[in-house]
Amino acid sequence: MPAWICARCAVQYPDTPAPPPSCPICEDEREAVPPSGQRWMDPVELRREHRTEIRDEEPGLTGIGVTPEFGIGQRALLVRTDAGNVLWDCVPLLDEPGRRAIDDLGGLSAICLSHPHFYAAHLEFAEAFDVPVFLPRADERWIPRRSPRIELFDDEVEPVPGVTVARIGGHFDGACVLHWPGGSDGRGALLTGDTIMVVEDRGWVSFMWSYPNLIPLDAGTIAEIARRVGRFRFERVYGGWWGHVVLDDGAAAVRRSAERYIDRLRGERP
Nearer to Zn ion, 60 or 92 (CB): 92
- Exactly one of 3, 26, 222, 254 binds Zn ion (CB under 5 A); that residue is 26
Q: Does 6 bind Zn ion (CB under 5 A)?
A: yes
Q: Which amino acid is at 53?
A: E
Phi, psi of 223 (to 5 degrees): -60, -40
Q: Does 8 bind Zn ion (CB under 5 A)?
A: yes
Task: Report in angstroms how near the CB of residue 267 gets to Zn ion at its nearest.
Answer: 27
Question: Helices marked H in 112-237 — which ranges?
Answer: 122-129, 183-186, 219-229
Task: Report in angstroms how near the CB of residue 37 gets to Zn ion at its nearest.
Answer: 12
The 10 Å CB-count burial string (b at 16+, else e) for 147-158 is eebbeebeeebe
Task: Report in angstroms how near the CB of residue 258 gets to Zn ion at its nearest.
Answer: 18
Total residues interacting with Zn ion, rule: CB under 5 A? 8
x/- contact string, 184-203, with Zn ion (CB under 5 A)? ----------x---------
Task: Report in angstroms how near the CB of residue 212 gets to Zn ion at its nearest.
Answer: 9
Residue 219 CB coordination number (10 Å): 15
x/- contact string, 103-132, with Zn ion (CB under 5 A)? --------------x---------------
Nearer to Zn ion, 26 or 76 (CB): 26
Nearer to Zn ion, 7 or 102 (CB): 7
What own/partner pairs with CB < 8 Å and gap ≥ 24 does 209-212 have? 209/30, 209/170, 209/171, 210/29, 210/30, 210/31, 211/30, 212/30, 212/31, 212/32
Query: What does the angle CA 5 – CA 153 – CA 125 come to, to the nearest 5 degrees?
Result: 35
- Exactly one of 3, 5, 9, 237 binds Zn ion (CB under 5 A); that residue is 9
CA 124 vs CA 119, 207, 244, 268: distances in Å: 11, 30, 26, 48
Q: Does 25 bind Zn ion (CB under 5 A)?
A: yes
Binding site for Zn ion (CB under 5 A): 6, 8-9, 23, 25-26, 117, 194
